[in-house]
Amino acid sequence: MMIKSSIEVTQPVDKVWDFFQDVPAVATCLPGAELTEETGPDQYAGNVAVRMGPVKMQFSGTAEVTERDEENKTIVIDAAGADDSGQDQVRLELTVRLVPEGSGTLLDVHQELHLSGAAAQYGRGMIGDVTQILMRDFASNVHTQLDANDRGISMDQKQGAQSAGGFAIGLRAAWMALKRVAGRFFLPYEPSRT
C-alpha cells in the first residue's frame, strides 16, 4: 500500500538535508525505531516497535539508503523486517523529498508498505492514521533535535527507541478515523441543479 504524507519542519531545507545525511541521528527521531548496528556503508540493522491499541508489533530487520539526490534533496531507503516468529513481515520503500516552504522545509514522504501475517489485518485507514501520527511526531522530533544541535545540547540518542503508540496513539488514530467517517455523513448539502 502507498501512504503519502506531507509534514513541515520549521528549519531551512539545507539544514534539514545535512541532518538527513546522519541516518542514525534521523532514526532516533522516529518513534519506535532503533538502529542497533551499522552493517556497511549506508546499511543498518535495527528494530521497530509499534503499538496499535493492545497489540504491540515488533520487527527486527535491515535498512539501506539506496539513493541520495542532493540536487533534488531526495533520499530513498529500503527496509525489511520480521517479528521473532517470522510470520509477520514488513517491507518498506521510503522516499523523502525535502522542499523549501517559506523559511522552513516540507517533507514530502512516500511509503510503499507491504505487510504480511497478522500485521496485514489492520485496515488501510488505521495504518494510514497511525502513519500520519508517527510522521507528525517525527517532524516534531527532527525540529527538537535540530534546535538542540543549534544550542549545542546533546539529545538522548535513544529517544525513538520506545515503542511508538500505546493508548495515546490509539486514541489519536481513532479520533482521525471518527472525523473521516463523520465527514462522509455530514457533508454540506448541495441541491442538485437540474
Write out pLDDT tens, residues 168-189.
444 444 444 455 445 545 445 4
Which CATH superfamily does the domain covering 2-184 fall into?
START domain (3.30.530.20)
The domain spans of the chain are 2-184
More confident residue, 71 or 154: 71
State yes or no: pLDDT of 157 exceeds 50: no
Helix axes 124-150, 13-20, angle to 10 degrees: 100
Distance CA 170, CA 163 (A): 13
How does pLDDT run across 68-113, given as a tens digit for each residue? 999 999 999 999 999 888 788 888 899 999 999 999 999 999 988 8
Closest to 23 in 3D by CA, of 58, 52, 63, 60: 63
More confident residue, 147 or 193: 147
32 and 134 in contact (C-beta within 8 Å)? Answer: yes
99 and 13 in contact (C-beta within 8 Å)? Answer: yes
State yes or no: pLDDT of 122 exceeds 70: no
* Ranges 51-55, 106-110, 145-149, most confident: 106-110
User: What does the pLDDT read at residue 54?
Assistant: 64
Q: Give this prediction's pTM.
A: 0.75
Average pLDDT of span 114-121: 75
User: What does the pLDDT read at residue 135?
Assistant: 80
- Say whether 89 sits in a helix, a strand or coil: strand
State yes or no: pLDDT of 48 exceeds 60: yes
Dihedral sign computed on CA atoms, order 74, 80, 81, 82: positive
User: What does the pLDDT read at residue 156?
Assistant: 57
Average pLDDT of span 140-155: 83
Mean pLDDT of all residues in the chain?
78
User: What does the pLDDT read at residue 167?
Assistant: 40
Average pLDDT of span 40-57: 82
User: What does the pLDDT read at residue 71?
Assistant: 96
State yes or no: pLDDT of 11 exceeds 60: yes
More confident residue, 108 or 138: 108
Grid cell for residue 64 = 539501506
